[in-house]
Amino acid sequence: MKKIPVGISGRHAHVTKEHLEILFGAGYELTILKELSQPGQYAAEEKIDVVSPDGRVLEGVRILGPTRKGTQIEISQSDAIRYKFVAPVRSSGDTAGSGKAKLVGPKGEVEINEGVIIADRHIHFSPEDAVAFGVKDRDVVSIKIDGIKAGLLDNVLCRVHESFRLDCHLDTDDGAAFMLRNGDTVSLVKKYQILD
């Protein structure tokens, strides 16, 4: 079975067109910095500051494009602790009841009443890759990591869509714990035995 490439996601923002224009000015369009692993997704040149309800400032949070239906800030648990954010673990887009923040851009500010999350661990599969790995959309699996800090990570959500390209997305806390870097690979684990 082939290995799954890993992408380590640092803190970032997804914003609506409306919020982008408040933060950067009317008619503003994002500038592509680099393409990401998933087709059509990119890191933008633009960054914003994200302020916690406690008033602590997470500076220079990069926006990922294109714009979305809902504004969402993805941080790590380390960020949440250090900057005093409420940030539940959620799948992208599942922001109901999540954390609050103020977003600050060069032209304006936006208060969001929800939208701050810690992204769940997940693997993007094309339908063909899903068949090859024997998984379906919303399955929860584990992954095996090799190397000097080898181990297993549980609760990894499988996401299957025709637009997806095979990639396992972890946040910086998970990546650092296993000394993973972008482009490293992991193995899929569907079942293992725990001896109590």
Position 123 pLDDT exceeds 90: yes
Per-residue pLDDT, averaged over 68-82, amounts to 98
Average pLDDT value for the chain: 96
Q: What is the pLDDT of residues 13-29, one digit of tens each?
A: 999 999 999 999 999 99
Task: Please tell me the predicted confidence (pLDDT) of residue 92.
Answer: 92
Per-residue pLDDT, averaged over 183-187, amounts to 96
Position 45 pLDDT exceeds 70: yes
Task: Please tell me the predicted confidence (pLDDT) of residue 196.
Answer: 81
Confidence of residue 195 (pLDDT cuts 50, 70, 90): confident
Task: Please tell me the predicted confidence (pLDDT) of residue 40.
Answer: 94
Position 114 pLDDT exceeds 90: yes
- pLDDT over 70 percentage in the chain: 99
Task: Please tell me the predicted confidence (pLDDT) of residue 192.
Answer: 81
Asked if residues 163 and 39 have their Cβ atoms less than 8 Å apart, the reply is: yes
Task: Please tell me the predicted confidence (pLDDT) of residue 190.
Answer: 81
Confidence of residue 193 (pLDDT cuts 50, 70, 90): confident
* 119 strand-pairing partners: 90
Asked if residues 43 and 60 have their Cβ atoms less than 8 Å apart, the reply is: no
Asked if residues 186 and 154 have their Cβ atoms less than 8 Å apart, the reply is: no
Question: Domains of the chain: which residue ranges?
Answer: 10-118, 122-189
Task: Please tell me the predicted confidence (pLDDT) of residue 191.
Answer: 79
Question: Does domain 122-189 match CATH 2.40.40.20?
Answer: yes
Task: Please tell me the predicted confidence (pLDDT) of residue 84.
Answer: 97
How far apart CA 188 and CA 196 sit, in angstroms, is: 23
Per-residue pLDDT, averaged over 130-153, amounts to 96
Position 194 pLDDT exceeds 90: no
Asked if residues 7 and 188 have their Cβ atoms less than 8 Å apart, the reply is: no
- pLDDT over 90 percentage in the chain: 95
Place of tokens 């059509």: 40
Task: Please tell me the predicted confidence (pLDDT) of residue 1.
Answer: 64
